[in-house]
Structure 1
Amino acid sequence: MMKGNLAEGLALVLTFLHIAYSIELPGQHLELGTCLLVLIPGPLHVEDKASNMGCDNSKEVCDASSKSTCEFVHRQFSEAFSTEPMVQLIYREQINQGWLLSSLSKHLNSEDNCSLVIYPKPIKDRTCLLSPQHTIADPTIIQLSTSISNHLAVVNQVCNTFRNVNGGLDRQGLHRDYIRDSLFSVESMGKYVNAEEAFKKGATLDILPKCEKVAITSWQEFFIEYLQHSKPVVITNAIQNWNVSHWTNDYLMEKYGNKSVHIKLSPTRDYEGIEAAELWETFESFEIPRQVYEQLEHPDLVVPRPAPTNMKFSEYIYLMQNISTGKIKNVSAYLEYSSIRQYFPELEEDISEMSFVESYLKLKHLNIWLSDGNTVGKLHFDPFDNFLCMIDGRKELLLFEPHDNQQLYEAHIPEAEFSVSLNGYHFRRNKLLESTSMVMSPIDIHKPDFQRFPKFKQAKPLNCTIEEGEVLFMPAFWWHEVQSYPSLTKNRNLAVNYWYEPYLSREFPCQSCKLDVNPYYNFLL
């Protein structure tokens, strides 16, 4: 049979095979909510389009061995995935979806015998509201034999499942279920305070539960006690051997003074945060596409981004010092999440990754943070596992767990960006952006609007303040607000952080999406 006629033959298979399961397939691959397994007996010949695939018609060309293999695999896979919600298995099903027939004819050869076509679950692109896309991988195709264990391993890998031939979970699957069922919560500490109580007028942070502070020396301890439970912890012994005492302003200026760096300028100490869109000069004339506007939960709010600018590193140090001493007012400057490897590569020789994770976690970014020590990073989350290392000053981090993101009102929020005149540091709110933030909360935790955001009342804050020489492990997706304070002797706040591929991950922005083991780390199960 020529490949051009394969779709017709496949249509015969799918039309005339009797229905084994009552499964309604979506009209498009993009709408699949699961991994799809399509079991195809073969080979087929287009001249047999009147046949019923029972191998009892003399006009049929039917490979009995292939049919028997397919039926055996079908029975085995039906049992293996009988209770797996993330997999649909189709063998004898009436299907008329054009996308499936088109895909099968594209990827199967006309002479293929019993084949299993595995379509991974499409990944929804949540980043774009204007024309959301899905990431679709080509299907994986297996030429089947009776070696079920090998085929099952492939399906488990493609579908991110952990089933054995008896339909139960294998060892990795049991571990994954344990992890998803045993995530750390602030409530489990016994002492906790709801946000309504924590942020009422006159309340102090002393009433909040605090992060545990421990010395950690082994991967086993870190993984078992903290990483797999998504549990924040302050580590007291992780950077004691760092050679950073000579990182003075003078040393850094001498070494990198002529280096151009990217900094952020803000009219207040707040970085990002939330404010009313109507405060911006172009509010009346700025138009949000209707398709986007209808999907925004907070179209009247914006995330005000600080004004970006580039200057020599020495100029930044002088600016930071003048802000610290009060010589320059009405401006805050921040060298934030700046890549050490891009801007200050030699500094990496003086520091090192946490010895207990460097062989296991995948490093994505290594950053330096330097300011006068009077900045606030407003409430947000990062999609990375974070080791925040305090060198000078301290940081007061208020954390909220990522298990009920309705309480933090996670959503797309329109962005804006300050402009600034460097001659006098005059700021204007004149740049509304055609982009949205996906990681900011619309809540001002120190002035919460409980009438507008009533679910925030039940959120439970955790105080994870770190001092010089301490490291905060903050698991991915934990909401946090960061108040920095300067060193009393150096009048600055200096930190380094390592961002890793998250061990537990989820889609975002998505209020209902739950943490799950990142498939990249399945080897750790």
Structure 2
Amino acid sequence: MAATMGSKSCLLLQSFATFLVVFMSAICFKPSICQPEDLSLPRILSEVERRCVLVLYNKNIAHVETLANELHQILTDSKDITFGTSELILSDGLTWPNGQPLQWVGKSSKAKHLISEADGGTLVIFPKQKKDRECLITGPGRKPQAELFTGPLNVQTALDWVNNICHTYISPTGGLTYEGLHRDSILQNLFSVSHVSNFTMQDFNRQWNQGSLVSRLQLQNVSGESASTVCQPLDFRSLIFDGECSKDMKGFCRASEAEIADGDMLKPAFSQFGNTEMLKDISEDCPEGIRKDPISSRRFPQCERLSELPTKGQFFYDYLKTSKPVILEGAAAHWDAFRKWTMEFLRDQYGDKDVHVKLAPDGLFEGVEASSNWEEYGTFTIPSAVLDILPFPDLVVVRPATINLKFAEFLDMISNTSKVEKESGNGKPRASAYLEYSSIPNYLPELEQDIQELPFARDLLKRRHLNIWLSDGNTLGKLHFDPFDNFLCQIRGKKQLTLFEPHDNTKMYEAHIPEAKLGYDPLSRRFRRKKLLDSTAMVMAPVDILNPDFQRFPAFAETRPLNCTINEGDVLFMPAFWWHEVQSYPNVTEGRNLAVNFWYEPFLTKEFPCGHCKLDVNPLYRHLL
């Protein structure tokens, strides 16, 4: 009986051993599953288009076998790293299939010296090839550069090196590091306008057309005779969506919503046009459907406002890492610039300085229009390779005309244009002058001592630019984004910004758009639409907020706008890549709009133009995770 039981046990063990051999043979049918793949050059070229490629140079496999197996086990399921081995990757005279030699990051002599010391083995990494989104004409195929590992050959040091170069967060267990978990949490908890409102551009357009966002007025001519009833929307510059009263438009406000405004409330806003008695409220004469929109529950949402500066921790956790706009009320009101930068001061200090000024008709800067409006249309040709991939080849971004002036001449120009909307009698558009994107450190360095960087941002973010913006105040900057975290500081006048989040840019139709540049004749003071450019804009939207073409751009109807209006002394934090259209208003007394802005390396970044590309934590700030 005992012998029989022993025989059965032996048979069971033999059967299990046979099963184990068959099972291991099955799962190891592909060598790459059980051991690192031997990577060929064509394989490296293929993989590096999608992810980093880590290669273990195994000149003496016995020296690196343990490391190879450990790294293979950790990286097998990685979506960001392809790992394998190669005996050839560091061979003398190695070339890619097209005959080009292998290129190294840094000095080749240093690489060769390190290679000569790599007797047992070392690691080589090929960073993922970032798509060139700037140029639409593709040149010869780029070949990846290699980076050589120079640290101690162990798992932890190797992973730290890989994570740093490939912007990954892989732990020795194959999971995510703490920093990687923090990053995932950040990306899953970004602020969206949908968190605070269901108001869409479809609602905006409907209410605008129905007249629910503005009142209806009757204009009386100078002689006092009544003009015909006007039941059409007012100019956008007359709209105030903000729930706060500005200093120069007292009484013209509503409680955090956009709804019909009484004529009496509009009168202060129209003081800039002359005698307010010329305005007569005739809302009772307009159809009921125009006077009152039944969809009053859908409100134009407003930016959050803080009356006190946040701490560094509050700003980081509540706004920076959530990509949430916020207005800091009065944060710049104590600056020396707020009292010091009068027109007289600027003229005295910089009157003889040369400045580069942008000019646009009637204050409309960088709108998008049909290329058929331009003289060179029909003779200007776009290469077919580019034309095939341009989504909107019939549109152009209208870049402003430029002129070089003495600063005093520029100040004279904005002083004059602030007093008149159009040339009398001829319908000729006024030339609106704008000193924009002008670097204070480069051109007006003495002014920097009169402003203060916000204390919570100074040691947190890396500053890239500090700009001054000065105009007559009657300007509209069309819809675009900036690849910087932005603190916009209002010194004179006010700005009304309409923002859109950057989380699904297919709805904003983000893409390359051809450019054209206005010409301007100072003698006749006329603009000319002539020159089409062989360049494209990468940060402009082809949609028009006030006249949206929902047939051509249907997804734009689903977007949710956010209103952020800043008054004198306010600072708006606008996270990178948020789309914004900026309507400026002048200080009524001084007839100008003056602001500065700090641009910082973005905490959250993305590739652009790319409608489907998502925000991600900027590798520059991985120490904050």
Shorter-chain TM range is 0.7 to 0.9
Question: Which stretch shifts more, 26-35 or 212-221?
Answer: 26-35
Alignment of 1:56-205 (within 5 A): 63=60, 67-91=61-85, 98=97, 103=102, 109=115, 112=118, 113-131=120-138, 138-142=145-149, 147-189=154-196, 191-200=197-206, 201=209, 202-204=211-213, 205=241
Classify 1:494/1:75 alpha carbon distance in 2 versus 1 (closer, same or farther; 3 Å). Answer: same
The separation in 2 between residues aligned to 1:152 and 1:31, in whole angstroms, is: 18
Offset, 1:81: 2.3
**TM-score under structure 1 normalisation?**
0.87
Task: Establish whether residue 213 from structure 1 lines up as the match of residue 213 from structure 2.
Answer: no
SS of the residue aligned with 1:231? coil
How large is the RMSD of aligned CA atoms in angstroms? 2.6
Task: Establish whether residue 492 from structure 1 lines up as the match of residue 592 from structure 2.
Answer: yes
The separation in 2 between residues aligned to 1:327 and 1:127, in whole angstroms, is: 38
Question: Which stretch shifts more, 286-295 or 379-388?
Answer: 286-295
Classify 1:134/1:307 alpha carbon distance in 2 versus 1 (closer, same or farther; 3 Å). Answer: farther
400, 410, 414: which one aligns with 2:514: 414
8 Å Cα contact 1:123/1:136 also seen in 2:
no
Task: Establish whether residue 290 from structure 1 lines up as the match of residue 384 from structure 2.
Answer: yes
Classify 1:485/1:492 alpha carbon distance in 2 versus 1 (closer, same or farther; 3 Å). Answer: same
Per-residue Cα deviation, 1:383-403 (whole angstroms, up to 9, x for no partner): 010000001111000000000
474, 480, 483: which one aligns with 1:383: 483
Offset, 1:217: 3.5
The separation in 2 between residues aligned to 1:479 and 1:260, in whole angstroms, is: 32
Task: Establish whether residue 225 from structure 1 lines up as the match of residue 318 from structure 2.
Answer: yes
Offset, 1:30: 9.1
The separation in 2 between residues aligned to 1:264 and 1:89, in whole angstroms, is: 52
8 Å Cα contact 1:126/1:132 also seen in 2:
no
Offset, 1:71: 2.0
Task: Establish whether residue 265 from structure 1 lines up as the match of residue 359 from structure 2.
Answer: yes
Offset, 1:110: 5.5
Offset, 1:235: 1.1
The separation in 2 between residues aligned to 1:29 and 1:482, in whole angstroms, is: 44
Classify 1:377/1:144 alpha carbon distance in 2 versus 1 (closer, same or farther; 3 Å). Answer: closer
8 Å Cα contact 1:340/1:347 also seen in 2:
yes
8 Å Cα contact 2:58/2:87 also seen in 1:
no
The separation in 1 between residues aligned to 2:80 and 2:100, in whole angstroms, is: 22
Per-residue Cα deviation, 1:342-388 (whole angstroms, up to 9, x for no partner): 22111111101111111121111100101111100000000010000
Offset, 1:319: 0.7
Structure 2 unmatched runs, 5+: 1-29, 90-94, 214-240, 242-257, 259-298, 424-428
Offset, 1:420: 0.5
1:8 match: none
SS of the residue aligned with 1:472? strand
Task: Establish whether residue 307 from structure 1 lines up as the match of residue 401 from structure 2.
Answer: yes
Task: Establish whether residue 508 from structure 1 lines up as the match of residue 608 from structure 2.
Answer: yes
The separation in 2 between residues aligned to 1:404 and 1:474, in whole angstroms, is: 17
The separation in 1 between residues aligned to 2:524 and 2:151, in whole angstroms, is: 73
Question: Which stretch shifts more, 107-116 or 196-205?
Answer: 107-116
Letter of the 1:174 counterpart = L
SS of the residue aligned with 2:458? coil
Alignment of 1:340-355 (within 5 A): 340-355=440-455
Letter of the 1:91 counterpart = T
2:420 match: 326
2:294 match: none
2:21 match: none
Per-residue Cα deviation, 1:40-61 (whole angstroms, up to 9, x for no partner): 211xxxxxxxxxxxxxxxxxxx
SS of the residue aligned with 2:507? coil
38, 45, 48: which one aligns with 1:28: 45
Offset, 1:208: 0.9
The separation in 1 between residues aligned to 2:470 and 2:103, in whole angstroms, is: 55
Letter of the 1:197 counterpart = D
Letter of the 1:478 counterpart = W
Per-residue Cα deviation, 1:386-427 (whole angstroms, up to 9, x for no partner): 000001111000000000001010000000000010013111
1:239 match: 332
Structure 1 unmatched runs, 5+: 1-16, 43-62
2:524 match: 424
Letter of the 1:88 counterpart = T
The separation in 2 between residues aligned to 1:395 and 1:156, in whole angstroms, is: 43
Letter of the 2:393 counterpart = P
The separation in 2 between residues aligned to 1:146 and 1:339, in whole angstroms, is: 47
Letter of the 2:514 counterpart = P
SS of the residue aligned with 2:565? coil
1:50 match: none
The separation in 1 between residues aligned to 2:48 and 2:142, in whole angstroms, is: 12
Classify 1:520/1:143 alpha carbon distance in 2 versus 1 (closer, same or farther; 3 Å). Answer: closer
Offset, 1:442: 0.3
**TM-score under structure 2 normalisation?**
0.73
Classify 1:257/1:30 alpha carbon distance in 2 versus 1 (closer, same or farther; 3 Å). Answer: farther
Task: Establish whether residue 465 from structure 1 lines up as the match of residue 565 from structure 2.
Answer: yes
465, 468, 487: which one aligns with 1:368: 468
Letter of the 1:213 counterpart = R
8 Å Cα contact 1:114/1:144 also seen in 2:
no
Classify 1:386/1:163 alpha carbon distance in 2 versus 1 (closer, same or farther; 3 Å). Answer: same
Identity of aligned residues (%): 46
Letter of the 1:238 counterpart = A
Letter of the 1:318 counterpart = D
Classify 1:100/1:84 alpha carbon distance in 2 versus 1 (closer, same or farther; 3 Å). Answer: farther
**How many residues get paired?**
485
Per-residue Cα deviation, 1:7-26 (whole angstroms, up to 9, x for no partner): xxxxxxxxxx9654678965
8 Å Cα contact 1:419/1:427 also seen in 2:
yes
1:40 match: 57
1:394 match: 494
